[in-house]
Structure 1
Amino acid sequence: MTQIRFYFSTLSPYTYLAGTRLEEIADKHGASIDYKPLDIAGLFGRTGGQPPKDRHPSRQEYRLIEMERQAKKLDLPLNLKPAYWPTNPAPSSYAFIAAQNAGSGDLGKLHHAFTRAVWAEERNIAGDDVIRDCLQSAGFDPALADSGLLTGAETYAQNLEDAVSEGVFGAPFYITSDGARFWGQDRLDDLDQHLEDIA
């Protein structure tokens, strides 16, 4: 079975704009998904990128134009300047990892719930109540918000190391079992075609 390693940040607008299309593509091709939430600021620092606030004003301006354009194209609500961005992504990432280890709900719905909370619902995903609500909405026990914190921290750190070693430099980033790499939600069609080609 083909596996897709999915590197993402619970704060990433482009992970939000990807929606659950990755899950649809994986289901279509009988592929599994290895979800790898990571520290996007740490990734930028390790791979030569810059946080949006540190980019040239022209880049900052175009980023917002492109985000709005993509949201309209995908018919997704989007607040370009959300009230709780940036916020601490670690608590939601640890909760995601706990949910992944528990294995009872829908991980695709969960990563989208976290990113939607930031970019469409004006909610702070560093808050325990928001994390619990997102877990429950994706079919997980809300109590997972309080469990596996050490494992979550260790896995979160390891995901960053894995990302750097695999040539990942942004989010969302998809890597297939044969090593093909795809950066950005706007490359999901290319990922879909690649899986078709190697079937």
Structure 2
Amino acid sequence: MSKVIDYYLTLISPWAYLGSQRFAEIAKRHGAEVRVKPVNFGEIFPRTGGLPLAKRAPERQAYRLVELKRWSEYLDIPIHLQPKHFPAPEALAARMVIAAGESGGKPLELAQAVGKAVWEEERDIGDAATCEAIAAETGHDGAALRAKAEEAASEARHATLTEEALARGVFGAPSYVYKDEIFWGQDRLDFLDRALAKG
């Protein structure tokens, strides 16, 4: 495919969850290839001036909930504003998505399912059995994908993607990179759509 989008995200981002289906539809409509690249924002934030949610000012935390509710209602996508298992350790789930992409699986579908598991279904993606189940629900061999994700090579790949994101100027999630132009946030999907339309 001539159109390629690099999709940098953290799987527990509510914004990635809210934008995931629209993003998939936009990419499909334009015949674009999506390279799903989960990265570690625990590394990215301190190096780009960002703060993890718990360290943000109370006013910012409160407004985030307002915006999540607005977008959920606007897009008609269900969301628990404060899900039971958030934040959850996502390293295993992220590496399973990476493994899916490198083994001919469906990384975008798996990433979407993980987001839905956190924000709609309130499942604990920090639990390995839950990750396996989510993978199976998207047509993967959950146990095999987990085993591959637990290999040192998958951990190294996760770290490499994080450094790649930093080198390309990524600082927030989700970030969609097309022709080296960053579109940060699901609220910029209309701009990505226009860029893809131009070719």
TM-score normalised to the size of structure 1?
0.94
Query: How many residues are matched?
Result: 196
Aligned residues of 1:182 and 1:191 also touching (Cα < 8 A): yes
SS at match of 2:89: coil
Instruction: Report what 2:102 is aligned to.
Output: 101
**Relative to structure 2, which stretch is displaced further, 15-24 or 5-14?**
15-24
SS at match of 2:124: coil
Aligned residues of 2:17 and 2:115 also touching (Cα < 8 A): yes
Aligned residues of 1:43 and 1:169 also touching (Cα < 8 A): yes
CA drift at 1:12: 0.7
Q: Any gaps of 5 or more consecutive residues in structure 2?
A: none
Report Cα offsets for 1:106-132 as digits up to 9, x if no partner.
322211111111111111111112111
Instruction: Report what 1:141 is aligned to.
Output: 141
CA drift at 1:63: 0.6
The alignment status of 1:186 with 2:187, answered yes or no, reads yes
CA drift at 1:77: 1.1
Structure 1 letter corresponding to 2:6: R
SS at match of 2:183: strand
Aligned residues of 1:20 and 1:108 also touching (Cα < 8 A): no
CA drift at 1:72: 0.8
Instruction: Report what 1:69 is aligned to.
Output: 70
SS at match of 2:11: coil
CA drift at 1:19: 2.4
Off by >6 Å, runs of 4+ in structure 1: none
Instruction: Report what 1:196 is aligned to.
Output: 197
CA drift at 1:97: 1.2
Structure 1 letter corresponding to 2:132: R
Instruction: Report what 2:177 is aligned to.
Output: 175
Q: How far, CA to CA, are the matches of 1:26 and 1:19 in structure 2?
A: 11
Q: How far, CA to CA, are the matches of 1:19 and 1:7 in structure 2?
A: 12
Instruction: Report what 2:46 is aligned to.
Output: 45
Report Cα offsets for 1:75-126 as digits up to 9, x if no partner.
111111111111111010111111111113x322211111111111111111
SS at match of 1:19: helix
Aligned residues of 2:92 and 2:149 also touching (Cα < 8 A): no
TM-score normalised to the size of structure 2?
0.94
Instruction: Report what 1:86 is aligned to.
Output: 87
Q: Any gaps of 5 or more consecutive residues in structure 1?
A: none
SS at match of 1:147: helix
Q: How far, CA to CA, are the matches of 1:181 and 1:194 in structure 2?
A: 11
The alignment status of 1:161 with 2:153, answered yes or no, reads no
CA RMSD of aligned residues (A): 1.1
Q: How far, CA to CA, are the matches of 1:122 and 1:45 in structure 2?
A: 28
